[in-house]
Chain A
Amino acid sequence: MKYKSLKKFLYLLSVLWLLALNSCKHDDLHIDKTNENFRAGFDFVKNNYDLSLFAAAIEKTGIGPQLNSATQLTILAPNNAAFNILGINRPGDLDKMNPDTLKFLVQRHILDERIMVKDIPFNGIDVRYRTMAGTELYTSTVTRDNSNTLYFNGSLASRKDVTLANGTLHVLDRVMKATTNTTVQGWLSARPEYSILVSGLKKFGFWDELSTEGPYTILAPKNQEFEAVGMTAEAIAELNVNSYMGDRLFGCYVMRKKHFFVSDFVVFSIMNGNSFYFHPVANDTYILTITAGRFNYGNVYDQSIGYNVEVRTNKNYPYDIITSVKGHDQKAIDNLTDNGLVQDLQGILILPEQAVKNN
């Protein structure tokens, strides 16, 4: 009898056991606890020696507390080397800048949404985001061998996805140059060092269109480059428009319906092997062959990129190479305006005698 009740007990036990199994419900366990090891936006920048100039710039504009209290943030922080390119070597140098310009510069490097590398469509070209300054930010990224190359307005992100308590931070190796409410025309006319180019564009009828929608990419040699080959302001004033091919002589500096950051050539050469871009000169057989890449191979830490333009008499063989000019000046390339870009060029593409009309 005792044995029988034990048996019954075993049955009961298994039933209870099954019931117990069914009644258990495991909710997923979540612990939402802020990680105190990460700093908020401005605090992080301030505590990083390599970002001290950017921290000083934020401090001067007074938006530091805003960066600490924001909830979703992306900071594109140019490192000190990037400011050095612009000639800013110590916090005191920032005082020489117009405070509004400085504020605009800082705001252009901050986004009020969190954008990590994984959020940007890969192999995306010119994916656009809006900065705190209200300007458009052009983002390009390309992946090769599991390594991501990421550019913001042509500036390389040398450190990506740095965690902040309230967002993310990318370190840029060049300050993004952007000017709002100006066109390529306005940009050039505000800079006297490009006055000879401007006079040439005016003389040969390329100037007026540069305030229209575009977009345009202007290859811009400085006055000293023109003067070095004897194309002084006086010499250009004396040129007879009718005896020169304007499209070749000055049209070659104006690329219509194009907006290129130098980094675009790098991105496309990785993405689909298009490392050369052939840009035909209007109404001519002449062609510009543009390519870009690193130029300082002596220093592995210098990831700066520049471009090179070669003028050929014809695209396909046989052709002659007229000139080969580089644009490596990190201070003067990738100047973004509302209707295109201005890329500084360290030389002249075509001399007047190479553009004389034959008949």
Chain B
Amino acid sequence: MLPSRMKNSIFYAAIVLLWFATGCSKVEYKKIDDPAYLRVFNNLNYKIGIDNKDEMLPFLTMLIDPEMDQNGMPVNAKIKGDFLDQRDPYAPPYPSHIGSGTSVNNPEYPGRENVLVGPVLNGFDLSSWAQIPSGKHRVVFMFRPKNTVPFFNLDAKLKKSFLIDTTMVLDSKEVYTLHVLQKDYLTKRNGIYLRKENFHKLPLSDSSVYVNFYNMSAKGYWQADNDAKGGNEYGKGAMGNGIKDQMNIFVTLYKNRTVSSPKLAGYNGKYLGNLTRNADVLEVSPYYSFPLFADASAGGIFTDMWQRFDFLAPGMDIRNIPYGPTVNQTDGNWASINCLTPYPNYTRWNEIVLPNMLVNIHSGTYNPRSFATVNTIEIVNGNVYLSTIQRKYAPPIY
């Protein structure tokens, strides 16, 4: 007979073991070796109306490396980006969609999807980019009906509308943005556009705001009839009817958000560069910059400065624009963007309003403190999209 103390400890051990056996659940950590970083936007911004009611609703499912059945219908996929809705005008520098709202509609991928996202790479926050195994992938975009049924649970006849079925090669540790675009306005041909970003490799300064521009509009958009393309809509401004294939870009910086805000010296209609419509060639546009503290009187911690960009056809002078400030019908010769948070008594004329490019946030002991960002402005068929990428900044001290 064993001593009773030993017996007791055997009992204890048995109980503890049982607790262990029941309490353990295995946690599987996902890991992707050699990832590439991918962010996907649905730029199909046409509206289904009476005139084009037979066109497909621009509501998509992205399937990467899908499995097809014998009829060519996708039945499974390694990576699925479902409910891909038309993109939002503003893609903020932080993942703003996941966990917010009850809708399944996703304005970008990864967006609301719960997937592994990118790290902070060379100081840039890539948490809006999904990790994808690098290498060659088959990519399929499908039109899907607008409801809340996941793609593979849809009725078989609703899973037959292919937008594009193609392959792409993603290199390890590279940053990509993938766009679904209309390539030709007249034939309504759609396609994709994969851009290998390079902002994380450039020697960009912390004290300058960077921005580059793309005009990814469909061929023939700006030439098309203004009524037919529905560009005369409140909020779209002169941009709604499109801009010409070749444009010059000018920047104007304003000191603060008041009605009589003064323009900052040296940045009153400053020429930045040229913008060519290009929905095919996959190259990164040059980044233009202006100082975060272009307003020397702001003190170097916080600035309320906002930005305006004017697009003018070659040969036109920003000091002598031959259209009134409220004219929307400019024949594609002039359009403008204001990047600001509208202030009291702000009067909108014919520009598109987007958020300010600066990040103003509590950091360290300063609340708020201004930070420079890297931005991309994309013009697609009369709509403008601003994507802002932020750097790391110090956490707040309370």
Contacts and interface: CB of A to CB of B under 8 A. Distances in A.
A22 B21 CA distance: 10
B145 A11 contact: no
A19 interface: yes
A149 to B, nearest CB: 16
Interface stretch (A30-38, A119-127, A196-204, A320-328): A119-127
Contacts of A244: none
Given A4-B4, A15-B15, A121 B22 contact: no
Contacts of B146: 121-124
A121 B147 contact: yes
A358 interface: no
A278 B227 contact: yes
A315 interface: yes
Contacts of A125: 48, 53
Contacts, number: 59
B18 A18 contact: yes
A19 B18 CA distance: 8
Interface in A211-253: none
A274 interface: yes
Contact of A127 (B4, B7, B14, B145): B145
Given A127-B145, A268-B49, A11 B227 contact: no
Interface string A250-261: 000000000010
Interface string A274-292: 1001100000000000100
Interface in A8-48: 8, 11-12, 14-15, 18-19, 21-22
Contacts of A18: 15, 18-19, 22
A54 interface: no
Closest 5 CB pairs of A and B: A121-B145, A277-B50, A11-B11, A274-B49, A18-B18
8 contacts: A8-B11, A11-B11, A22-B18, A124-B57, A125-B48, A125-B53, A272-B48, A272-B49
Interface of B: 4, 7-8, 11, 14-15, 18-19, 21-22, 47-51, 53-54, 57, 145-147, 155, 158, 227
Interface of A: 4, 8, 11-12, 14-15, 18-19, 21-22, 119, 121-127, 260, 264-265, 268, 271-272, 274, 277-278, 290, 315-316
Given A11-B8, A121-B158, 12 more contacts: A4-B4, A11-B11, A14-B15, A18-B18, A18-B22, A21-B22, A123-B57, A124-B145, A268-B49, A268-B53, A272-B47, A274-B49
